[in-house]
Amino acid sequence: MTRVKDDLQAQLHALRERYRDTLPAKRTLISSLMDECRQSAWRNATTIDALRESVHRLAGSAGSYDMETLGAAAALFEAQIRGVLEGNGTWAVEQAFAEFATILDAHAAATPVEDGNTTEQ
Amino acid sequence: MSVESASSPAARRILVVDDDPDITDIIDVWLRSAGYEVVTANSANKALHWLDTVHPELVITDLSMPGMDGMQLLEHIQVFDPTLPVLMVSGNAGIPDAVDATHRGVVGFQTKPLKREQLIRSVGDAIGGDGQVAESETRAIEGIVHRGSVMARLLERVRRAARGSSTIMIEGESGTGKELLARAIHRASPRRDQPFVAINCGAMPEPLLESELFGHVKGAFTGAASTRQGLFQAADGGTLFLDEVGDMPLSLQVRLLRVLQDGRVRPVGSTEEFPVDARVVTASHRDLEDLVAQGSFREDLYYRLNVVPIQAPALRERREDIPALVEHFLDDVHGRLGEGRRRFAPAAMDRLLAAPWPGNIRQLANVVEQCVVLSTSTVIPVHLVERALKHREDRVEPFDTAVRGFERQYLVRLLSMTGGNVSRAARLAGRNRTDFYNILRRHDLEAAAFRSR
């Protein structure tokens, strides 16, 4: 039973680390889509939707990988992107992005600790 | 997409559908750790293709996906198999979405981020028990000989349907083993320790059928010398199987409907009613919808009986099972008649595989027995099969339908034989791998589904 539990912990740990390794690429994609949105003065609905979709995925998955703060920041960021699509200004989305990016960077840089968990920033 | 077997051969299989691999990966690990077997699909379309081959007990799907979304997938699944439970997950759904999904028939709705314990609890609630198929459910269907995907899918459905108490209607041609399925349903159900009572509604005159079903009191009619309990009461707590229910006279249909509605039965000639709790499973070789349209079967009773429909496939639709069935019948004849053990020559087996089988499994059993009895050697030659078959080969389907049906059955058989090894299957078929993959694609078949099964 203990071995099974250890196996599960090891698998979850490996998955979490793999997920963490993907964060820089996710950050690059989202930053690049943000730049495109800014360049088009947030008028290109296709790009905004692509940005929303990328952030939406992260909002859905991060919490399942024990990165609740990242998931919450992504959910807030996604809500602000939806706001832009509904005609709101872009100030709030910029704020949400800044906060989201800071948290994502911290998670991407987090160092695993010995018990198989990772430091939650 | 992946298909892998869990450590236990009796693990329950769950199909997980999400376009985000981060989600399918973590659900995969969570559910495997709880003893389930997991198949993942990264789109609703791929999930639909998998349904036919992986026979999941539960589908977990994301609501929002590019192309076909979770709700559309749910609609397709409900057409494919109305008994297959679906658990919906969503990243940003509100209460109205959850309510809508529940109204449309999902068994559960969870919002992301998903958590392991909560998801496993929901899965357990949806399909009952833990990751392992109950031993009684496995034993119940062990007696049904099969090797191919058509019957595997059907038996999966039988196991699921058995767990509840809903009425079940088994439709299928004569000789397809409908009573065998009814007995399997009973054995796999929580009622397994109570009686299973079967009656053929087409085999007896109306007054006798009425008395058999509902019972009678002494003096209720000429010859009713004593009070007699009916089959509904005899099956109390268990299962009552009404075979050929389409042949039941209209007047008795009214009485049957009343029992199903009220859960009480009143014997012929009695003023007293008795509570009964018998699960009713029916079967018919006739198209009951047609009978309803003709006015010879009550529509309200039809819907009351048809809560869970199960279609028993014709033998020509499950040809991949023929070799196993032939072996089974050879064993049976050997045991009963004490004849020396026989086997079919390769050409004779080919003929059995290609026959149209209008009489289905019953005909196959007769053909095997006839061949064993008439064969003078241990190897049964093809001409004996020809002779046994010759009187029944009068049905011809359109050429294109026949070719396509044959191709698919051939491919399923080949992939089952080779355990999903495409190189081997292609070699046996005399085609190169690229050609073979193209043929599989035309039939929406994926070799991976036949591996590790």
Cα separation, B63 vs B43, in Å, equals: 11
Other beta carbons within 10 angstroms of residue A115's beta carbon come to 8
Cα separation, B109 vs B56, in Å, equals: 18
Closest CA to B40 of A15, B69, B29: B29
The alpha carbon of residue B89 is apart from the nearest alpha carbon of chain A, in Å, by: 10
Residue B344 bridge partners (DSSP): B380
Interchain contact, B113 vs A56, CB within 8 Å = no
DSSP designation for A112: B
Question: Which tokens belong to B75?
Answer: 């609609």
**3-class SS shares of chain B: helix, strand, coil, % to 5:** 50, 15, 35
Other beta carbons within 10 angstroms of residue B315's beta carbon come to 23
DSSP designation for A65: G
The answer to whether A4 contacts chain B (CB < 8 Å) is yes
Cα separation, B155 vs B388, in Å, equals: 30
pLDDT in tens, chain A (121 residues): 566 667 888 889 999 999 999 999 999 999 999 999 999 999 999 999 999 999 999 999 999 999 999 999 999 999 999 998 888 888 999 999 999 999 999 999 875 443 344 444 4
pLDDT at B373 over 50: yes
Cα separation, A52 vs A93, in Å, equals: 11
Could you give the angle at which helices B346-354 and B382-389 cross, rounded to 10 degrees?
A: 20
Residues of A within 8 A of B91 (CB-CB) are 56-57, 59-60
Residues of A within 8 A of B110 (CB-CB) are none
What 3-state DSSP class applies to B152? helix
The alpha carbon of residue A36 is apart from the nearest alpha carbon of chain B, in Å, by: 22
What per-residue confidence (pLDDT) applies to A117?
46
What per-residue confidence (pLDDT) applies to B132?
62
pLDDT at B152 over 90: no
Compute φ and ψ for A16, nearest 5 degrees. Answer: -60, -40
Calculate mean pLDDT across residues B168-181.
90
Question: Which tokens belong to A97?
Answer: 């992005």
Contact present, A37 and A48 (Cβ < 8 Å): yes
DSSP string, B382-399: HHHHHHHHTTT------H
What per-residue confidence (pLDDT) applies to B236?
94
Calculate mean pLDDT across residues B264-285.
93
Compute φ and ψ for B97, nearest 5 degrees. Answer: -65, -45
DSSP designation for B314: P
Q: pLDDT band at B359, cuts 50/70/90?
A: confident
Q: What is the CA radius of gyration of chain A?
A: 16
Interchain contact, A56 vs B92, CB within 8 Å = yes
Calculate mean pLDDT across residues B421-441.
87
Residues of A within 8 A of B7 (CB-CB) are none
CA separation (Å) from B361 to B145, B272, B380? 11, 44, 19
Interchain contact, B25 vs A22, CB within 8 Å = no
Interchain contact, B92 vs A8, CB within 8 Å = no
Share of chain B above pLDDT 90, in %: 35
What per-residue confidence (pLDDT) applies to B326?
92
pLDDT digits 0-9 by tens, B223-237: 777 888 899 999 999
Cα separation, B45 vs B36, in Å, equals: 23
Cα separation, B87 vs B193, in Å, equals: 31
Non-local (6+) Cβ contacts of A46 within 8 A are none
Chain A: residue whose CA lies nearest to B119? A64
Comparing CB atoms, the residue among A11, A57, A61 nearest residue B29 is A11
What per-residue confidence (pLDDT) applies to B57?
86
Cα separation, B44 vs B31, in Å, equals: 20
Of the two residues B118 and B6, the one the predictor is more confident about is B118
Residues of B within 8 A of A49 (CB-CB) are none
Helices (H) and strands (E) in chain B, counts: 20, 17
Question: Which tokens belong to A80?
Answer: 């602000």
Question: Which tokens belong to B279?
Answer: 């699960």
Cα separation, B314 vs B329, in Å, equals: 17
What 3-state DSSP class applies to A41? coil
pLDDT at B329 over 80: yes
Cα separation, B25 vs A76, in Å, equals: 25
Calculate mean pLDDT across residues B317-328.
88
For tokens 């399997």, the residue is B184
Q: pLDDT band at B397, cuts 50/70/90?
A: low
Contact present, B58 and B120 (Cβ < 8 Å): no
pLDDT at B3 over 50: no
Cα separation, A3 vs B331, in Å, equals: 45
Closest CA to A58 of A13, A103, A88, A11: A103
Contact present, B232 and B194 (Cβ < 8 Å): no
Highest mean pLDDT among B36-45, B46-55, B317-326: B36-45
Share of chain B above pLDDT 70, in %: 91
Question: Which tokens belong to B163?
Answer: 């767990």
Range from A74-83, B49-58, B320-329, B394-403 carrying the lowest mean pLDDT: B394-403
Non-local (6+) Cβ contacts of A65 within 8 A are A15, A16, A19, A20, B22, B26
What per-residue confidence (pLDDT) applies to B139?
63
Calculate mean pLDDT across residues B145-172.
83
Range from A4-8, B379-383, B417-421 carrying the lowest mean pLDDT: A4-8
Residues of B within 8 A of A59 (CB-CB) are 91-92, 112
pLDDT at B1 over 50: no
Calculate mean pLDDT across residues B303-322.
89
Range from B51-55, B122-126, B344-348 carrying the lowest mean pLDDT: B51-55
Could you give the angle at which helices B399-417 and B422-429 cross, rounded to 10 degrees?
A: 130
First CA to last CA distance, chain B:
16
Cα separation, B416 vs B423, in Å, equals: 13
- Of B19, B23, B26, which to mutate for an interface test with A (greatest number of A Cβ within 10 Å)? B26
Instruction: Give CA torsion, residues B286, B287, B290, B292, to 10 deg.
Output: 80
Interchain contact, B22 vs A56, CB within 8 Å = no
Chain A: residue whose CA lies nearest to B118? A64
The alpha carbon of residue A40 is apart from the nearest alpha carbon of chain B, in Å, by: 24
- Of B22, B31, B110, which to mutate for an interface test with A (greatest number of A Cβ within 10 Å)? B22
pLDDT digits 0-9 by tens, B438-452: 888 888 788 877 775
Comparing CB atoms, the residue among A15, A22, A78 nearest residue B26 is A15
What per-residue confidence (pLDDT) applies to B95?
72
Residue B109 bridge partners (DSSP): B88
Residues of A within 8 A of B92 (CB-CB) are 56, 59, 75, 78
Interchain contact, B112 vs A68, CB within 8 Å = no
Residue B86 bridge partners (DSSP): B59
- Selected residues 46-65 of chain A with any CB under 8 Å from a CB in chain B: 56-57, 59-65
Cα separation, B180 vs B158, in Å, equals: 11
Average pLDDT of chain B? Answer: 85
